[in-house]
Structure 1
Amino acid sequence: MVRITDVCEITKPISSPIRNAYIDFTKMTTSLVAVVTDVMRDGKRVVGYGFNSNGRYGQGGLIRERFAPRLLEADPKSLLDASGDNLDPDKVWAAMMSNEKPGGHGERSVAVGTIDMAVWDAVAKIAGKPLFRLLAERHKRQANPRVFVYAAGGYYYPGKDLSALRGEMRGYLDRGYNVVKMKIGGAPIAEDRERIEAVLK
Protein backbone atom coordinates (compact mmCIF):
# COMPACT_ATOMS: atom_id res chain seq x y z
CA MET A 1 0.00 0.00 0.00
CA VAL A 2 1.31 3.44 -0.96
CA ARG A 3 1.77 5.86 1.91
CA ILE A 4 2.70 9.51 2.16
CA THR A 5 5.40 9.48 4.83
CA ASP A 6 6.21 13.19 4.90
CA VAL A 7 5.32 16.54 3.38
CA CYS A 8 8.25 18.95 3.51
CA GLU A 9 8.01 22.67 2.73
CA ILE A 10 10.59 25.39 2.55
CA THR A 11 9.92 29.02 1.71
CA LYS A 12 12.71 30.65 -0.27
CA PRO A 13 13.22 34.21 -1.48
CA ILE A 14 13.09 34.74 -5.23
CA SER A 15 13.47 38.49 -5.13
CA SER A 16 14.01 40.48 -8.29
CA PRO A 17 13.95 44.19 -9.13
CA ILE A 18 11.26 43.63 -11.80
CA ARG A 19 7.65 44.70 -11.40
CA ASN A 20 4.37 44.50 -13.27
CA ALA A 21 1.33 46.77 -13.06
CA TYR A 22 0.37 45.57 -9.58
CA ILE A 23 3.35 44.28 -7.65
CA ASP A 24 7.09 44.48 -7.50
CA PHE A 25 9.07 41.35 -6.89
CA THR A 26 11.63 42.72 -4.42
CA LYS A 27 10.24 40.68 -1.52
CA MET A 28 8.79 37.75 -3.49
CA THR A 29 9.01 34.25 -2.01
CA THR A 30 8.02 30.79 -3.18
CA SER A 31 7.13 27.56 -1.41
CA LEU A 32 8.95 24.40 -2.47
CA VAL A 33 7.16 21.21 -1.44
CA ALA A 34 8.28 17.58 -1.39
CA VAL A 35 5.67 14.86 -0.92
CA VAL A 36 7.64 11.83 0.26
CA THR A 37 6.17 8.35 -0.26
CA ASP A 38 7.20 4.89 0.89
CA VAL A 39 7.45 3.65 -2.72
CA MET A 40 10.96 2.74 -3.85
CA ARG A 41 12.24 3.18 -7.42
CA ASP A 42 15.88 2.50 -8.33
CA GLY A 43 16.77 2.24 -4.65
CA LYS A 44 15.31 5.65 -3.77
CA ARG A 45 12.02 6.80 -2.31
CA VAL A 46 9.60 8.33 -4.78
CA VAL A 47 9.28 12.02 -3.98
CA GLY A 48 6.93 14.40 -5.76
CA TYR A 49 7.93 18.05 -6.03
CA GLY A 50 5.89 21.21 -6.41
CA PHE A 51 6.31 24.96 -6.15
CA ASN A 52 4.01 27.92 -6.33
CA SER A 53 4.17 30.25 -9.28
CA ASN A 54 6.18 33.45 -9.41
CA GLY A 55 3.92 36.34 -8.46
CA ARG A 56 2.26 34.46 -5.60
CA TYR A 57 4.03 34.50 -2.26
CA GLY A 58 5.09 31.27 -0.57
CA GLN A 59 2.45 29.75 1.72
CA GLY A 60 4.64 27.85 4.15
CA GLY A 61 2.51 28.69 7.17
CA LEU A 62 -0.69 27.31 5.68
CA ILE A 63 1.08 24.27 4.27
CA ARG A 64 2.84 23.37 7.52
CA GLU A 65 0.01 24.27 9.92
CA ARG A 66 -3.06 22.93 8.10
CA PHE A 67 -2.62 21.02 4.89
CA ALA A 68 0.45 18.82 5.41
CA PRO A 69 -0.78 17.62 8.84
CA ARG A 70 -4.14 16.61 7.36
CA LEU A 71 -2.42 14.39 4.81
CA LEU A 72 -0.14 12.82 7.38
CA GLU A 73 -3.04 12.21 9.80
CA ALA A 74 -5.38 10.77 7.14
CA ASP A 75 -5.99 7.03 6.92
CA PRO A 76 -3.52 6.05 4.16
CA LYS A 77 -6.17 3.86 2.51
CA SER A 78 -8.43 6.89 2.12
CA LEU A 79 -5.84 8.52 -0.18
CA LEU A 80 -5.51 5.61 -2.62
CA ASP A 81 -6.95 5.10 -6.08
CA ALA A 82 -9.30 2.21 -6.87
CA SER A 83 -6.41 -0.17 -7.59
CA GLY A 84 -4.77 0.60 -4.25
CA ASP A 85 -1.44 0.85 -6.06
CA ASN A 86 -1.17 4.64 -6.23
CA LEU A 87 -2.36 7.84 -4.65
CA ASP A 88 -5.57 9.41 -5.91
CA PRO A 89 -4.96 13.17 -6.28
CA ASP A 90 -8.69 13.90 -5.92
CA LYS A 91 -8.84 12.06 -2.60
CA VAL A 92 -5.65 13.77 -1.44
CA TRP A 93 -7.20 17.13 -2.34
CA ALA A 94 -10.39 16.23 -0.45
CA ALA A 95 -8.34 15.33 2.63
CA MET A 96 -6.52 18.66 2.50
CA MET A 97 -9.78 20.57 2.19
CA SER A 98 -11.55 18.75 5.02
CA ASN A 99 -12.87 21.17 7.63
CA GLU A 100 -12.31 24.13 5.30
CA LYS A 101 -15.01 26.69 4.69
CA PRO A 102 -16.22 26.63 1.05
CA GLY A 103 -15.47 29.67 -1.03
CA GLY A 104 -12.63 31.97 -1.97
CA HIS A 105 -9.52 32.27 0.16
CA GLY A 106 -6.90 32.81 -2.56
CA GLU A 107 -3.91 32.13 -0.34
CA ARG A 108 -5.38 28.77 0.58
CA SER A 109 -5.63 27.80 -3.09
CA VAL A 110 -1.92 28.58 -3.54
CA ALA A 111 -1.01 26.35 -0.59
CA VAL A 112 -3.23 23.46 -1.67
CA GLY A 113 -2.19 23.85 -5.31
CA THR A 114 1.50 23.62 -4.41
CA ILE A 115 0.97 20.33 -2.59
CA ASP A 116 -1.35 19.14 -5.37
CA MET A 117 1.43 19.70 -7.91
CA ALA A 118 3.81 17.61 -5.82
CA VAL A 119 1.19 14.85 -5.44
CA TRP A 120 0.66 14.65 -9.21
CA ASP A 121 4.44 14.46 -9.68
CA ALA A 122 4.60 11.56 -7.22
CA VAL A 123 1.63 9.79 -8.82
CA ALA A 124 3.27 9.95 -12.27
CA LYS A 125 6.58 8.68 -10.87
CA ILE A 126 4.86 5.80 -9.06
CA ALA A 127 3.02 4.91 -12.29
CA GLY A 128 6.29 5.11 -14.21
CA LYS A 129 4.82 7.48 -16.79
CA PRO A 130 5.34 11.09 -17.81
CA LEU A 131 2.64 13.23 -16.22
CA PHE A 132 1.23 14.39 -19.57
CA ARG A 133 0.59 10.75 -20.55
CA LEU A 134 -0.91 9.87 -17.17
CA LEU A 135 -3.30 12.82 -17.39
CA ALA A 136 -4.33 11.93 -20.93
CA GLU A 137 -5.08 8.34 -19.92
CA ARG A 138 -7.00 9.50 -16.87
CA HIS A 139 -9.22 11.67 -19.07
CA LYS A 140 -9.43 9.08 -21.86
CA ARG A 141 -7.63 11.25 -24.39
CA GLN A 142 -4.75 10.84 -26.75
CA ALA A 143 -1.50 12.01 -25.15
CA ASN A 144 0.11 14.89 -27.02
CA PRO A 145 3.76 15.50 -26.16
CA ARG A 146 3.45 19.08 -27.43
CA VAL A 147 1.77 21.84 -25.44
CA PHE A 148 1.06 25.49 -26.13
CA VAL A 149 3.42 27.81 -24.27
CA TYR A 150 4.19 31.48 -24.42
CA ALA A 151 6.94 33.68 -23.07
CA ALA A 152 5.99 36.31 -20.49
CA GLY A 153 8.31 39.28 -20.32
CA GLY A 154 8.57 42.99 -20.73
CA TYR A 155 8.49 43.55 -17.00
CA TYR A 156 9.32 47.00 -15.72
CA TYR A 157 12.96 46.94 -14.68
CA PRO A 158 15.08 49.82 -13.35
CA GLY A 159 17.24 51.20 -16.15
CA LYS A 160 15.63 49.11 -18.91
CA ASP A 161 15.36 51.31 -21.98
CA LEU A 162 13.33 50.68 -25.13
CA SER A 163 16.26 49.03 -26.89
CA ALA A 164 16.69 46.52 -24.06
CA LEU A 165 12.94 45.87 -23.99
CA ARG A 166 12.89 45.28 -27.75
CA GLY A 167 15.91 42.96 -27.46
CA GLU A 168 14.28 40.96 -24.68
CA MET A 169 11.05 40.43 -26.59
CA ARG A 170 12.90 39.66 -29.85
CA GLY A 171 15.00 37.14 -27.94
CA TYR A 172 11.89 35.13 -27.04
CA LEU A 173 10.91 34.92 -30.71
CA ASP A 174 14.47 33.96 -31.64
CA ARG A 175 14.26 31.07 -29.14
CA GLY A 176 11.23 29.67 -30.91
CA TYR A 177 8.29 31.17 -29.05
CA ASN A 178 5.63 32.39 -31.46
CA VAL A 179 3.54 34.07 -28.76
CA VAL A 180 4.91 36.54 -26.23
CA LYS A 181 3.17 38.54 -23.51
CA MET A 182 4.45 41.93 -22.45
CA LYS A 183 3.63 43.58 -19.14
CA ILE A 184 1.80 46.90 -19.36
CA GLY A 185 -0.35 49.01 -17.06
CA GLY A 186 2.37 49.96 -14.59
CA ALA A 187 3.40 53.19 -16.30
CA PRO A 188 1.58 56.21 -17.70
CA ILE A 189 -0.38 55.42 -20.87
CA ALA A 190 1.97 57.43 -23.08
CA GLU A 191 5.00 55.53 -21.78
CA ASP A 192 3.31 52.15 -22.18
CA ARG A 193 2.25 53.07 -25.70
CA GLU A 194 5.85 53.94 -26.51
CA ARG A 195 6.98 50.60 -25.07
CA ILE A 196 4.41 48.69 -27.15
CA GLU A 197 5.31 50.54 -30.35
CA ALA A 198 9.02 49.91 -29.76
CA VAL A 199 8.45 46.18 -29.44
CA LEU A 200 6.23 46.03 -32.54
CA LYS A 201 8.96 47.58 -34.73
Structure 2
Amino acid sequence: MKILEIREKTVSIASPIANAYIDFSKMTCSVVAVVTDVIRDGKRVVGYGFNSNGRYGQGALMRDRFIARVLEADPASLVDEANDNLDPFAIWKTLMTNEKPGGHGERSVAVGTIDMAVWDAVAKIAGVPLWRLLADRYRDGVADDKVWVYAAGGYYYPGRDHGKLQDEMRGYLDRGYSVVKMKIGAVSLEEDLARIEAVIDVVGNGGCLAVDANGRFDLDTAIAYAEGLKPYGLFWYEEAGDPLDYALQAELAKHYDLPMATGENLFS
Protein backbone atom coordinates (compact mmCIF):
# COMPACT_ATOMS: atom_id res chain seq x y z
CA MET A 1 0.00 0.00 0.00
CA LYS A 2 1.37 3.39 -0.91
CA ILE A 3 0.65 6.92 -2.00
CA LEU A 4 1.25 7.21 -5.72
CA GLU A 5 0.84 10.93 -6.15
CA ILE A 6 -0.17 14.11 -4.34
CA ARG A 7 -1.73 16.71 -6.60
CA GLU A 8 -2.39 20.34 -5.74
CA LYS A 9 -4.36 22.84 -7.77
CA THR A 10 -4.70 26.47 -6.79
CA VAL A 11 -8.14 27.70 -7.77
CA SER A 12 -9.76 31.12 -7.68
CA ILE A 13 -12.53 31.77 -5.19
CA ALA A 14 -12.48 35.51 -5.86
CA SER A 15 -15.55 37.54 -4.97
CA PRO A 16 -16.44 41.18 -4.20
CA ILE A 17 -16.97 40.51 -0.48
CA ALA A 18 -14.74 41.94 2.26
CA ASN A 19 -14.37 41.75 6.00
CA ALA A 20 -12.83 44.42 8.23
CA TYR A 21 -9.28 43.46 7.29
CA ILE A 22 -9.13 41.94 3.80
CA ASP A 23 -11.11 41.76 0.61
CA PHE A 24 -11.50 38.61 -1.46
CA SER A 25 -10.96 40.13 -4.90
CA LYS A 26 -7.93 37.91 -5.57
CA MET A 27 -8.62 35.08 -3.15
CA THR A 28 -7.49 31.54 -4.00
CA CYS A 29 -7.47 28.18 -2.25
CA SER A 30 -5.64 24.89 -2.67
CA VAL A 31 -7.43 21.68 -3.60
CA VAL A 32 -5.36 18.57 -2.88
CA ALA A 33 -5.76 14.98 -4.07
CA VAL A 34 -3.85 12.15 -2.37
CA VAL A 35 -3.82 9.32 -4.91
CA THR A 36 -3.26 5.82 -3.50
CA ASP A 37 -2.71 2.40 -5.07
CA VAL A 38 -5.74 1.01 -3.21
CA ILE A 39 -8.78 -0.08 -5.22
CA ARG A 40 -12.24 -0.01 -3.65
CA ASP A 41 -15.40 -0.88 -5.60
CA GLY A 42 -13.38 -0.95 -8.78
CA LYS A 43 -12.03 2.58 -8.32
CA ARG A 44 -8.71 3.92 -7.10
CA VAL A 45 -8.97 5.53 -3.66
CA VAL A 46 -8.26 9.26 -3.78
CA GLY A 47 -8.47 11.49 -0.70
CA TYR A 48 -9.39 15.13 -1.13
CA GLY A 49 -8.72 18.24 0.95
CA PHE A 50 -9.02 22.00 0.61
CA ASN A 51 -8.02 24.96 2.75
CA SER A 52 -10.18 27.67 4.23
CA ASN A 53 -10.91 30.88 2.42
CA GLY A 54 -8.90 33.85 3.60
CA ARG A 55 -5.49 32.13 3.58
CA TYR A 56 -4.89 31.80 -0.18
CA GLY A 57 -3.66 28.68 -1.98
CA GLN A 58 -0.50 27.09 -0.62
CA GLY A 59 0.69 25.20 -3.70
CA ALA A 60 4.19 26.69 -3.69
CA LEU A 61 4.88 25.54 -0.13
CA MET A 62 3.44 22.11 -0.84
CA ARG A 63 5.51 21.57 -3.97
CA ASP A 64 8.72 23.06 -2.58
CA ARG A 65 8.75 21.09 0.67
CA PHE A 66 5.90 18.90 1.77
CA ILE A 67 4.71 16.77 -1.14
CA ALA A 68 8.22 15.58 -1.99
CA ARG A 69 8.85 14.42 1.58
CA VAL A 70 5.90 12.06 1.45
CA LEU A 71 6.61 10.72 -2.02
CA GLU A 72 10.31 10.17 -1.25
CA ALA A 73 9.63 8.35 2.04
CA ASP A 74 9.71 4.57 2.33
CA PRO A 75 6.06 3.58 1.67
CA ALA A 76 6.26 1.06 4.50
CA SER A 77 6.90 3.90 6.94
CA LEU A 78 3.57 5.53 6.06
CA VAL A 79 1.23 2.60 6.78
CA ASP A 80 -0.22 1.43 10.08
CA GLU A 81 0.95 -1.56 12.11
CA ALA A 82 -1.72 -3.81 10.63
CA ASN A 83 -0.46 -2.89 7.17
CA ASP A 84 -4.02 -2.37 5.98
CA ASN A 85 -4.28 1.43 5.89
CA LEU A 86 -2.27 4.61 5.74
CA ASP A 87 -1.06 6.05 9.05
CA PRO A 88 -1.96 9.77 9.11
CA PHE A 89 0.28 10.41 12.11
CA ALA A 90 3.32 8.88 10.39
CA ILE A 91 2.52 10.94 7.31
CA TRP A 92 2.22 14.09 9.43
CA LYS A 93 5.61 13.34 10.99
CA THR A 94 7.09 12.94 7.52
CA LEU A 95 5.55 16.21 6.35
CA MET A 96 7.16 18.00 9.29
CA THR A 97 10.63 16.51 8.82
CA ASN A 98 13.29 19.25 9.12
CA GLU A 99 10.66 21.80 10.13
CA LYS A 100 11.31 23.92 13.21
CA PRO A 101 8.66 23.59 15.93
CA GLY A 102 6.18 26.36 16.56
CA GLY A 103 5.57 29.20 14.20
CA HIS A 104 2.68 31.35 13.11
CA GLY A 105 2.18 31.34 9.38
CA GLU A 106 1.14 29.59 6.24
CA ARG A 107 2.98 26.31 6.85
CA SER A 108 0.11 24.97 8.93
CA VAL A 109 -2.29 25.64 6.05
CA ALA A 110 -0.16 23.70 3.58
CA VAL A 111 0.36 20.76 5.94
CA GLY A 112 -3.23 20.83 7.18
CA THR A 113 -4.69 20.66 3.69
CA ILE A 114 -2.61 17.61 2.83
CA ASP A 115 -3.53 16.10 6.20
CA MET A 116 -7.23 16.58 5.43
CA ALA A 117 -6.82 14.71 2.17
CA VAL A 118 -4.91 11.91 3.92
CA TRP A 119 -7.69 11.40 6.46
CA ASP A 120 -10.24 11.32 3.64
CA ALA A 121 -8.20 8.57 1.97
CA VAL A 122 -7.87 6.64 5.25
CA ALA A 123 -11.66 6.62 5.72
CA LYS A 124 -12.25 5.56 2.12
CA ILE A 125 -9.73 2.72 2.45
CA ALA A 126 -11.52 1.60 5.61
CA GLY A 127 -14.84 1.78 3.77
CA VAL A 128 -16.57 4.00 6.32
CA PRO A 129 -17.39 7.70 6.61
CA LEU A 130 -14.66 9.68 8.36
CA TRP A 131 -16.92 10.53 11.30
CA ARG A 132 -17.46 6.81 11.91
CA LEU A 133 -13.76 6.00 11.63
CA LEU A 134 -12.88 8.71 14.15
CA ALA A 135 -15.62 7.61 16.56
CA ASP A 136 -14.52 3.97 16.38
CA ARG A 137 -10.85 4.79 16.89
CA TYR A 138 -11.03 7.50 19.51
CA ARG A 139 -14.47 7.49 21.18
CA ASP A 140 -15.25 3.79 21.67
CA GLY A 141 -17.62 3.92 18.73
CA VAL A 142 -19.73 6.74 20.16
CA ALA A 143 -20.46 9.57 17.74
CA ASP A 144 -22.59 12.64 18.32
CA ASP A 145 -25.82 12.45 16.34
CA LYS A 146 -25.82 16.22 15.85
CA VAL A 147 -23.18 18.91 15.31
CA TRP A 148 -24.00 22.51 16.17
CA VAL A 149 -23.34 24.95 13.33
CA TYR A 150 -24.09 28.56 12.56
CA ALA A 151 -24.31 30.53 9.32
CA ALA A 152 -21.40 32.93 8.79
CA GLY A 153 -22.00 35.80 6.42
CA GLY A 154 -22.83 39.46 6.60
CA TYR A 155 -19.74 40.53 4.67
CA TYR A 156 -19.26 43.98 3.23
CA TYR A 157 -19.53 44.39 -0.52
CA PRO A 158 -20.54 47.09 -3.01
CA GLY A 159 -24.24 47.83 -3.12
CA ARG A 160 -25.03 45.96 0.10
CA ASP A 161 -27.67 48.00 1.90
CA HIS A 162 -29.47 46.99 5.07
CA GLY A 163 -32.31 45.42 3.11
CA LYS A 164 -29.98 43.08 1.24
CA LEU A 165 -28.20 42.23 4.48
CA GLN A 166 -31.55 41.33 5.99
CA ASP A 167 -32.45 39.22 2.97
CA GLU A 168 -29.21 37.28 3.37
CA MET A 169 -29.85 36.58 7.04
CA ARG A 170 -33.47 35.68 6.37
CA GLY A 171 -32.21 33.12 3.88
CA TYR A 172 -30.10 31.46 6.58
CA LEU A 173 -33.10 31.22 8.88
CA ASP A 174 -35.11 29.69 6.06
CA ARG A 175 -32.41 27.01 5.75
CA GLY A 176 -32.86 26.10 9.41
CA TYR A 177 -30.01 27.99 11.09
CA SER A 178 -30.77 29.38 14.52
CA VAL A 179 -27.62 31.52 14.89
CA VAL A 180 -26.03 33.76 12.25
CA LYS A 181 -22.82 35.76 12.19
CA MET A 182 -21.94 39.05 10.50
CA LYS A 183 -18.81 41.13 9.97
CA ILE A 184 -18.08 44.37 11.79
CA GLY A 185 -15.21 46.85 11.80
CA ALA A 186 -14.96 48.07 8.21
CA VAL A 187 -17.26 51.04 8.73
CA SER A 188 -17.92 53.38 11.64
CA LEU A 189 -19.23 52.06 14.94
CA GLU A 190 -22.48 53.92 14.36
CA GLU A 191 -23.00 52.32 10.96
CA ASP A 192 -22.12 48.86 12.30
CA LEU A 193 -24.65 49.26 15.10
CA ALA A 194 -27.28 50.18 12.53
CA ARG A 195 -26.37 47.05 10.55
CA ILE A 196 -26.61 44.95 13.72
CA GLU A 197 -30.05 46.35 14.53
CA ALA A 198 -31.21 45.58 10.99
CA VAL A 199 -30.13 41.96 11.41
CA ILE A 200 -31.69 41.64 14.87
CA ASP A 201 -34.98 42.81 13.36
CA VAL A 202 -34.80 39.64 11.24
CA VAL A 203 -33.37 37.06 13.65
CA GLY A 204 -35.48 38.17 16.60
CA ASN A 205 -32.92 38.91 19.32
CA GLY A 206 -29.22 39.51 19.84
CA GLY A 207 -28.71 36.03 21.24
CA CYS A 208 -29.13 34.70 17.71
CA LEU A 209 -26.39 36.95 16.28
CA ALA A 210 -22.59 36.77 16.56
CA VAL A 211 -20.27 39.49 15.25
CA ASP A 212 -16.69 39.16 13.97
CA ALA A 213 -14.13 41.99 13.67
CA ASN A 214 -11.45 39.76 12.10
CA GLY A 215 -8.71 41.20 14.31
CA ARG A 216 -9.11 44.76 13.10
CA PHE A 217 -9.26 46.78 16.31
CA ASP A 218 -6.71 48.34 18.61
CA LEU A 219 -7.59 48.25 22.30
CA ASP A 220 -9.43 51.57 22.42
CA THR A 221 -11.58 50.68 19.41
CA ALA A 222 -12.24 47.19 20.74
CA ILE A 223 -13.47 48.66 24.02
CA ALA A 224 -15.59 51.27 22.24
CA TYR A 225 -17.26 48.50 20.25
CA ALA A 226 -17.70 46.43 23.41
CA GLU A 227 -19.60 49.29 25.02
CA GLY A 228 -21.74 49.69 21.92
CA LEU A 229 -22.45 45.96 21.65
CA LYS A 230 -23.38 45.29 25.28
CA PRO A 231 -27.07 46.27 25.07
CA TYR A 232 -27.75 43.73 22.31
CA GLY A 233 -26.79 40.60 24.28
CA LEU A 234 -25.03 39.08 21.28
CA PHE A 235 -24.17 35.40 20.92
CA TRP A 236 -20.50 36.39 20.87
CA TYR A 237 -18.03 39.16 19.99
CA GLU A 238 -15.25 37.58 17.93
CA GLU A 239 -11.58 38.38 17.35
CA ALA A 240 -11.64 42.05 18.21
CA GLY A 241 -7.86 42.47 17.96
CA ASP A 242 -4.80 40.80 16.50
CA PRO A 243 -5.00 37.08 17.36
CA LEU A 244 -1.55 37.19 18.99
CA ASP A 245 -2.40 40.19 21.18
CA TYR A 246 -3.33 38.26 24.30
CA ALA A 247 -3.00 41.37 26.46
CA LEU A 248 -5.68 43.12 24.40
CA GLN A 249 -7.99 40.13 24.73
CA ALA A 250 -7.45 39.98 28.49
CA GLU A 251 -8.05 43.70 28.95
CA LEU A 252 -11.12 43.61 26.72
CA ALA A 253 -12.62 40.90 28.92
CA LYS A 254 -12.57 43.39 31.81
CA HIS A 255 -14.87 45.67 29.81
CA TYR A 256 -17.15 43.08 28.20
CA ASP A 257 -18.73 40.41 30.36
CA LEU A 258 -20.64 38.67 27.56
CA PRO A 259 -19.27 35.80 25.44
CA MET A 260 -16.19 36.47 23.32
CA ALA A 261 -14.54 34.22 20.75
CA THR A 262 -11.01 33.97 19.38
CA GLY A 263 -8.41 31.40 18.33
CA GLU A 264 -9.35 30.85 14.68
CA ASN A 265 -6.00 32.24 13.55
CA LEU A 266 -3.77 30.62 16.16
CA PHE A 267 -1.81 27.76 14.60
CA SER A 268 0.14 24.96 16.21
Shift of 1:93: 0.5
State how far apart, in whole Å, the 2-side matches of 1:50 and 1:143 are.
22
Gaps in structure 2 of 5+ consecutive residues: 202-268
1:153-168 matches, within 5 Å, as 153-168=153-168
TM-score by length of 1: 0.97
Shift of 1:97: 0.2
State how far apart, in whole Å, the 2-side matches of 1:58 and 1:145 are.
33
Gaps in structure 1 of 5+ consecutive residues: none
State how far apart, in whole Å, the 2-side matches of 1:188 and 1:96 are.
44
Deviations 1:30-88 (A, max 9, x none): 00100000000122110000000111110000111111100001111111112110011
Q: Is 1:189 the counterpart of 2:189 in the alignment?
A: yes
State how far apart, in whole Å, the 2-side matches of 1:64 and 1:138 are.
31
Shift of 1:145: 4.0
1:169 counterpart residue number: 169
1:87 counterpart residue number: 86
State how far apart, in whole Å, the 1-side matches of 2:104 and 2:19 are.
23
**Contact 1:35–1:47 (CA<8 Å) still a contact in 2?**
yes
Larger radius of gyration: 2
State how far apart, in whole Å, the 1-side matches of 2:147 and 2:161 are.
33
Aligned length: 200
| 4+ long deviations beyond 3 Å | none
Secondary structure of the 1:61 match is helix
Shift of 1:146: 2.3
1:179 counterpart residue number: 179
Secondary structure of the 2:119 match is helix
Secondary structure of the 1:65 match is helix
TM-score by length of 2: 0.73
Shift of 1:127: 0.2
2:13 counterpart residue number: 14
RMSD: 0.9
Give the aligned residue type for 1:191. Answer: E
1:100 counterpart residue number: 99
Shift of 1:173: 1.1
2:65 counterpart residue number: 66
1:122 counterpart residue number: 121
State how far apart, in whole Å, the 1-side matches of 2:146 and 2:2 are.
32
Shift of 1:187: 1.2
Deviations 1:103-144 (A, max 9, x none): 114200000000000000000000000000111112124023
Give the aligned residue type for 2:149. Answer: V
1:39-54 matches, within 5 Å, as 39-54=38-53
Secondary structure of the 2:68 match is helix
Q: Report % sequence identity.
A: 70
Give the aligned residue type for 2:85. Answer: N
**Contact 1:132–1:145 (CA<8 Å) still a contact in 2?**
no
State how far apart, in whole Å, the 2-side matches of 1:63 and 1:178 are.
38
Bigger shift: residues 117-126 or 141-150: 141-150
Taking CA–CA contacts closer than 8 Å with sequence separation of 6 or more, which of the two structures ends up with the larger relative contact order?
Answer: 1
Give the aligned residue type for 2:29. Answer: T
**Contact 1:33–1:118 (CA<8 Å) still a contact in 2?**
yes
State how far apart, in whole Å, the 2-side matches of 1:90 and 1:184 are.
39
Deviations 1:128-179 (A, max 9, x none): 0000011111212402342121110000011010000011011101100112
1:143-162 matches, within 5 Å, as 143-162=143-162
